[in-house]
Structure formats: C-alpha cells, structure tokens
Structure 1
Amino acid sequence: MPSRSQYALMSSADKNMVLFICFSSAVAFFDFLIYLYMADIVSSTFFPANLDPNISKLQGLGLFAVGYLARPLGGLIFGRYGDIKGRKPILLLSMLVTAGSMLAMACLPTYAQWGLLAPALFILLRLIQGMAFGVYVPLAWIFVAEHVPRQYLSLGCSYVTASFFVGVLFSNAFFIWLNESMTPEQLITNGWRLPFIVAAVLSFLPLLAWRFINESPFFIELRDIKPDKHTNQPFTLLFKNCRQSIFIGLMLTLIIASITTVIILLLPELIELSFTLNNDLFDFSHSLGIVFMIFGCIFYGLISNYQNFGRILVIGSVLLIGQMFAFYYHLEAGGDYILIMYALLGFCAGIVGMVPAILVQLFPTNVRLTGVALSYNVMYGIVGGLVPFGLGYATMFISFSPALYIAFIGFIGVIMGLYFYHLPEFRKIDTII
C-alpha cells in the first residue's frame, strides 16, 4: 500500500482536494437541510390544503425523515460500489445524483396541478437524494483520509466535519433572508422553488474542478497489488472479519449523530418548550454556537493528531457533559450570558471533529467505504428517527432532558476514549483483508 511519510508535507494537490471536498460537504448539508427549514411550505405545496395544520406539519417533517430512512440503503449500495470500483466514480455519482434531484424538485408540479402524483414524485426524489447523501458523508471523510499524509489525517477529517456545520450556518442565513424577502403566499406560490434551484447550482459548481481530483492512492495500490482479490464481495469480508469494528463504528456514530442532532438542530426548539428568551438574541446565540463548534472541530482534530486519541476523547467528553449542565443551569437562572454559554457549548461539542479520523481507520481499505457507510447511516437513521420525538416528549416533563441525554452520550464517549487509550496498537490505515 502507499507509504506516505508521517512527516510528509501536504502538497498543493492535497490542499486543493481538501478544499474541494469541504466546499462540496457544506453544499451537501445545505441540500439535505432544505426540508427541515421548508417543512411547512413544502407540505402546503404538495399535500391537500384542507388538512389540519398539525397534520401538515407532521407531513413536512415526515419528508425530512424520509431522507434519514433512505441513507442506510444508499450507503450500503453505493458504499459497496465504491469499494469495488473506486472512490472517485462514486463521489462523482453521489454529486450528480444530488444535483440532479435538487433540480428535478425545483421543476416539480404542485398538488394543485398534478394531484397525488406530485407528492409521490417529491417523495421519490427525496429518497434518491437521501441515498446519495448517505454515501457522500462517509466518502468525504475517507477520500480525505486516503489522500493526505498520515500526520494530517485527523486534521483533514476535522476540516470536512467543520464544513458540514458551515453548511448549517449558510442554511440559517439563507432561510432568514428568504423569509424576510418573500411573504408566505409568495413562498407557497413559487418561492419554494428557489432553495432547490440554489442547491442544484451549488451542487454542480464543484464539478467544474473535477479533472483536478485524483483517485485515492490507497485504492489504486489495492487494485494494482490485488487485481484478482480487490473485487471480493465487501459484505462477505466485512461481516466475517470486522464485526467488532462495526460495533465500535456504531458507537462512534452515536456520539457524532447525537451531538449534531441535539445541539445543532433540536436545541433551539427544545429550549423554547421550557424557557422564555429573547428570540433575536437566542437565534444569534445559536448561530454563534455553530461558529464555535466549527472552531472546536478543527481544534480537536489538530490536537488529536499529536496526542493519544483516547485521552483527548475522554477529556473532551467530560468537558461537554460539564458545559451542557452549566448551560441549562444558566437558562434556569435567567440566561443573561446566553451568548458566552452557547459559544462554550458549541466549542465543547466540537469533539465530533476528531471522531471521523478513527472511524475511517476501523475498517481495512478494501471494505472501508462499505463499513463506514453501514455504521454511520444505520446509527444516524436510528438517532434521526427516534431522538427528536423522544427528547421532544421528555422535555415537556423534564426541562433538563437534553442535558441528561448529552450526559449519557458523553459517558459513552468516556468509555470509548478509555478503550482507545488502552488499545495497544490501532489498525494501520493501509490494512487489507
């Protein structure tokens, strides 16, 4: 396998590749989150207008949940293809499918025009886009990890993770602008198409630099060294040799998915169920928290390059638990310093930035994409499907429910950190089975 020196410097090609993946990742997250921001509008456009408002709301959220359900299927199908045919072809395919599905959604007729066929087509396109997103996220980490010198592996993966949250920030800003620029009637009429058009254009933009992106050197070496074996069925090899890695991957993804879902997506709505705060100040605080989470991702990715991963994960998990409870106690006290507390919470939540570097090393090269896609998407589907409803219900009775849940996740992070701390030697990233 390619032997890149631990002390090699990142080349210009490596830096351009990381920028390419980071930009594409930010766009991919924007694409996926459109449904969350547009739930009410999309529901009004693609379903009968005489339905109860609460039912319409559930329908809109259901369209968002459909993407989570499609992710494991797409991750497995496309992940297997990526381990057999190469990382670059599946990266191109996932980007093209995402861009094409966004453009198709922008051109769809409404329920008033085509009746039940309109929501059926929308759901189908949503499933297709969710499948593409299911393989893109693990592929982005793997593509960077297999290109950059070993000493930059953790930092490179943390850049990709941070770029996802850049996509969240862009989504916040874009939909604030959209809601201020158009009335609800304009959005329902044709304004809802604009986010999908913007998403399609942004998704096509990275393809302009496609010829400068190279196939993973790990896959090239694998194909050259084992031409008769590298096409072995990834599923067979994976479940025969990597059952422990799958379990560890599920636990690591539980940490990533829970922190991202709760702190980035759900926390504002969960807090509103129990506390009364100034809306403008709170919205700004939430955005500031995301900014500091981006910094936190890069910080933890950087220090985990030079320190024992397990030790950093234990320390980071303990700090996150402490800050989450401090954040909620501060809300109980009135929330006068919500800006500072949200920024600190976001920075502590940045431990998710260091986790993908270990996730990609759990699996050998010839089953890596299949293994990471399986672990990541199955657990993310469970968290995305159950946690919003479970925490929403629990918060109505116990205001500290989100803090208790993050404390539970932090405890898992401590356990995983201790496991990696005492692990004598971790699998090398160029391993083959």
Structure 2
Amino acid sequence: MTTAQTQQQTATPPSQRRKLTLEDVKTLSLSALGGSLEFYDFVIFVYFANVVGGLFFPADMPEWMRQVQTYGIFAAGYLARPLGGIIMAHFGDLLGRKRMFMLSIFLMAVPTLAIGLMPTYEQIGLAAPLLLLLCRVLQGAAIGGEAPGAWVFVTEHVSKRHIGFACGTLSAGLVAGILIGSLVATAIHSAYSAQEVHAYAWRIPFLLGGIFGFVTMYLRRWLHETPVFKAMQEHKQLAQEMPVKTVVKEYLPSVIMTMAVTWVLTAAVVVTVLLLPSLLQNVIHLDPKTALEANSLAIIFILVGCLVSGALGDRFGNGPIMAIFSIGLGTSFWAFYSTMLQDTTYLFPMYCVVGFFVGLVGIVPAIAVKSFPAAIRFSGLSFSYNIAYAIFGGLTPMIITTMIIENVMAPAYYVAFVSLIGVVASLAIIRFRPTLDLAANPA
C-alpha cells in the first residue's frame, strides 16, 4: 500500500454508511445547478457559431475559411481544458476544493459576459477575434476545473454508499446545461428575425450566461469545504510534492483506467448528442427542426440514464453497470443508426433508448474518483479526464467525418468499438474493485 493510501485511511471521516442528509441534498442541488449553468456557458457558443463567425471576421473572408476559424476558436476551449484543469486541481489538492469550485464558475462567468458585450470586427478590427479567442481559452480552463472539481466535491460530501448517485446527479446537471443551451438558442431564433439575431439578439444568451454564473457564485457561498479535505488539513496529510507528479509516478494504472472510461464518455456525448443532429440532416436529409426536437428529447432520457446508472452502481458495483450500459450503448446506437438510414418512422423512441444508455456518463466519474486517494484525487481525476477528453473529444469529429466518406455506417462502427473498450474497462474494474474502493473511501 502506498503512503498516500495509508494517509487516506486516516483522513477519511467515519459514518461512511450513513443516509443522505438535507445538507447532502443541498450540496448536490447547488453543485448540479452550477454545473448545468457553467456547461450552458461553454456550449452556447456552438449554437451561435455561424452568427459569431459573420461578426468577428472580415466580411470578405471566404465562407469556408470563416467556418474553420470560428470552429477553431470553439476548439480552443477544448485544448485549454487540460491546462486549466491541472492547475486548478493542483491548488484544489493543496488549498481546498471549495476555493477552486468558486474560481471555476468565476472564470466561466466573466468571459461569457464579456463575449456578450464585445465589439465586433467592424468596430475594432483584428482585436475582435483575438479577444474572442482569449475568452474561449478562459472558458476552456474553467470547464477543465469545473467537472472534475464538482465530482470530487460532491463525492467527498456524501457517504461511500451514495458516491454513484452523487456523480450521476452532477452529470445529469452537466448534461442539462446542453439542453438549456439548445432551448435558449431555439427561443432566440423563434422570438427574433434573422436580421435581429445578427444585429443584437445573439448577445442575449451570452449575457444571460454571465448573469447565471454570478448568481451561481452567490449560491455556492453557502457550500462548505469537504469533510475529507478538512480531515487531511487537521492531520497535516496534504500532498507533500506536486500532486500531478505523484499521480504519474504512483497511479499510472488508475490514469489509464480513467482515460479509458472517459474515451467511452466522449464517444457517447460527442457522437450521439453533439454530432448526430448534423449527421441526420446531412446523411438522410432529415429536416433540422425534427432532428433538434429528437435530440432534445433524447437529452432528457440521458438525464434519467445518469441518475439510474449512478444509483445502480451504488447497489451492484460500478464495473457490472458500466459493462451493461456500454453494451446497451453500442447495440442501441447500431440499431438506431442503421434503421434511420432506411426508415425514420421510429426516430423518437429509438433515439430515446440511445439517450438512456448515454447515461453511462453518470457512472464514469464514480469510477474515476474511486481510482485515486484523497490527497491527489482532484489532480488525478482532472489530469486523466481532461487529457483524454482533449484527445478523444477533439479527434472524434475529425475521425467520424473522415470515415463516413468511405462508409456511411462509420459512426455506428466507432461507437461499437469504443463501447467494447468500455466493456474491457469494466472487467478490469470488477477485477480490481477492492483496490479502487480502498483508494477512494476505505471503510
């Protein structure tokens, strides 16, 4: 057993088998609310990418180049995630979870509000896209610390028996942020004409996001530092060297495990949620309205799946539930996608089934937080999750769009392959479950 694991046994407070309290419910609610609003801030950009591209780049720029540069700025947010996540996790392991929890929402609220107030290219020239890029980098750094920080924060507040449900609740909140973004974008385009959206209405979602962020900061003032971190402070058991250095030196198998399940998470979210509406429009020529309606309904089922997978993980173990949901994701998406190529009659019910199994994103963080001891948990989770998300989340759209030229079934092949990775990871989780549980919250 490593020194960090021994320290964690001493630092973990008692009452690991207690029921959820009102304080736990408040913590989960505020954390999920903050996560959903922060994710809204991060994704709202993509819903207005075409408008932003037309306003923040020269009018005489070729359309394809404008699109490339606009989505390049969007992608910069993903590339900034690992650095921001690692830095915030480093100080989260040394100074406290709550401080970084507050910092992440601040780093998201300020640039989101700034985008809503920012002058366009016509007003300030080249400075406009450069400022936009800076804001996206700050947003990426914020989201890189938010998700891992929130998962660590809630799991260190609840008892061991509720870790899965806590992670599932928080993941549902993050997914809800995507749904809020979709609904707000739909409302803006419905309430304003195309000319009004281009003139000023595009700013409204960003201004709302900034306001939401500051409201969330105020609400999070009522949260308390986690019992686990306070116990480590009292016993002087915080990491003695750079936490991420300890992660790489002593917990490489845990890093690999977390990156593997994160790969499954990215395939589930990027392919079946973010890319699929466009694929349905481009491949089978489904009208945009129907595609977005089906997508929104599927996201609601993802929320349900997150809660169910987390709760079942607490009851039956994370490994078996991860395996079941991985198999369900691969088979349901294969059936859905191959059917849609021929007949869209059952678009809505079949997409909802896929959405439910995408709910495996609720069990992934529970697996990850149990892979690292408390002294380096934030850094271990943030390093593994954000590196994997930057690589696989960033490459997946390119892989899918390249493969689909050769074979229209490419999205189904990719999801099936990554689902198999999830099953293999599940077997490893089942095999090493005692070690992983001990590293997280020894009884």
TM-score in same-fold range (> 0.5)? yes
- Residue 270 of structure 1 is matched in structure 2 by 279
> Is the 8 Å Cα contact of residues 282 and 338 (structure 1) preserved in structure 2?
no
More displaced, 183-192 or 255-264?
A: 183-192
Residues 359-397 of structure 1: CA distance to partner in whole angstroms, max 9, x if unpaired? Answer: 011111111111111111111111222111221122233
Alpha-carbon separation, structure 1, partners of 2:143 and 2:221: 22
- What code does the residue aligned with 2:391 have? I
Deviation of 1:231 after TM superposition, in Å, equals: 4.4
Alpha-carbon separation, structure 1, partners of 2:57 and 2:364: 40
- Residue 22 of structure 2 is matched in structure 1 by 12
1:243 aligns with 2:252: yes
- Residue 6 of structure 2 is matched in structure 1 by none
> Is the 8 Å Cα contact of residues 274 and 395 (structure 1) preserved in structure 2?
no
| Equivalent in 162, 173, 185 of residue 195 of structure 2 | 185
DSSP 3-state at the match of 2:406: coil
- What code does the residue aligned with 2:213 have? S
- Residue 324 of structure 1 is matched in structure 2 by 333
Deviation of 1:233 after TM superposition, in Å, equals: 1.8
- What code does the residue aligned with 1:145 have? T
- Residue 299 of structure 1 is matched in structure 2 by 308
| Equivalent in 324, 334, 343 of residue 334 of structure 1 | 343
- Residue 166 of structure 1 is matched in structure 2 by 176
> Normalising to structure 2: TM-score of the pair?
0.94
Unaligned runs of 5+ in 1: none
Deviation of 1:276 after TM superposition, in Å, equals: 2.7
Deviation of 1:69 after TM superposition, in Å, equals: 0.7
Percent identity of paired positions between Structure 1 and Structure 2: 32
- Residue 318 of structure 2 is matched in structure 1 by 309
Deviation of 1:431 after TM superposition, in Å, equals: 6.3
DSSP 3-state at the match of 1:9: coil
Deviation of 1:122 after TM superposition, in Å, equals: 1.4
> Normalising to structure 1: TM-score of the pair?
0.96
> Is the 8 Å Cα contact of residues 27 and 202 (structure 1) preserved in structure 2?
yes
Pair 1:221–1:278, CA change in 2 (3 A): same
1:218 aligns with 2:228: yes
1:126 aligns with 2:126: no
> Is the 8 Å Cα contact of residues 96 and 204 (structure 1) preserved in structure 2?
yes
The number of residues matched between the two structures is 431
1:64 aligns with 2:74: yes
Alpha-carbon separation, structure 2, partners of 1:74 and 1:404: 33
1:30 aligns with 2:24: no
Alpha-carbon separation, structure 1, partners of 2:339 and 2:14: 48
1:136 aligns with 2:181: no
> Is the 8 Å Cα contact of residues 281 and 288 (structure 2) preserved in structure 1?
no
- What code does the residue aligned with 2:104 have? S
Deviation of 1:189 after TM superposition, in Å, equals: 2.2
DSSP 3-state at the match of 2:69: helix
Pair 1:193–1:281, CA change in 2 (3 A): closer
| Equivalent in 352, 359, 376 of residue 350 of structure 1 | 359
Pair 1:430–1:386, CA change in 2 (3 A): closer
- What code does the residue aligned with 2:66 have? S
- What code does the residue aligned with 1:389 have? M
Alpha-carbon separation, structure 2, partners of 1:60 and 1:70: 16
Deviation of 1:250 after TM superposition, in Å, equals: 1.0
Pair 1:270–1:241, CA change in 2 (3 A): same
More displaced, 328-337 or 397-406?
A: 328-337
Q: In angstroms, what is the RMSD of aligned CA positions?
A: 1.6
Alpha-carbon separation, structure 2, partners of 1:105 and 1:176: 19
> Is the 8 Å Cα contact of residues 281 and 287 (structure 2) preserved in structure 1?
no
Deviation of 1:355 after TM superposition, in Å, equals: 1.2
1:49 aligns with 2:59: yes
> Is the 8 Å Cα contact of residues 35 and 60 (structure 1) preserved in structure 2?
no
Deviation of 1:356 after TM superposition, in Å, equals: 0.6
